[in-house]
Amino acid sequence: MRLYHISDQPGIRLFEPRHVPHPSVDVKDDVVWAVDEDHLHNYLLPRDCPRVTFYATEQSDPVDVERLIGPGGARYVIAIESYWLPEIQRQSLYKYELDPASFTVLDEGAGYYISRQEVVPLSETKIDDILMALLEYSVELRITASLWELREAVIHSTLQFSIIRMRNARPPQEGVEAFYPLP
């Protein structure tokens, strides 16, 4: 198993456990976050970029797969707001590989792992072209005006999903039944 941390900061020599940033995460102590290789693509975007990511599992209803993933052939879908495209094209990211020895799985479906110990990265790789990096992972990138309706559809589907940084999304269109603002 290979674990990674994506950052917009170069030269991180030591990852120290930090407080969990969102109250919905059921982790009370300070931790170092990592993501497995199968889900790394979800983090190949600027940190604050809101996104809706999803994919089918064996338990997914074929109707949901057809309706939300469609015929494009990609295994994974990442949807972002068009508002964020210039920032994605401007920024660079840094991929740190981490030794999995001290990590435990937090959410297998999302590929989240945590360590309660300091972690020295094994390597650092600069990613200058985020869009090209996403293409290497068989990701369908959807660029939409708003994420809110898709977010609601995915949440109420049988697909596996991660909803990331929606607090940074543009407000939903009037009349959209969405959980806004987020708790």
pLDDT tens-digit series, residues 27-69: 788 999 999 999 999 999 999 999 999 999 999 999 999 999 9
Whether 140 shows a pLDDT value over 70: the answer reads yes
For residue 25 the two structure tokens come to 């995460």
As a whole number of Å, the end-to-end CA separation of the chain is 34
Q: Which of 57-71, 82-96, 161-175 has the lowest mean pLDDT?
A: 161-175
pLDDT tens-digit series, residues 97-113: 999 999 999 988 889 99
Asked whether 57 and 160 are in contact (CB, 8 A), the reply is yes
CA distance 127 to 60: 33
What's the mean per-residue pLDDT of the chain? 91
- Rg of the chain (C-alpha set): 17
Band of the pLDDT at 84, cuts 50, 70, 90? very high
What pLDDT score does 183 carry?
A: 39
Spell out the residues 6+ positions from residue 176 whose beta carbon is closer than 8 angstroms to its own: 146, 148, 149, 152
Whether 24 shows a pLDDT value over 60: the answer reads no
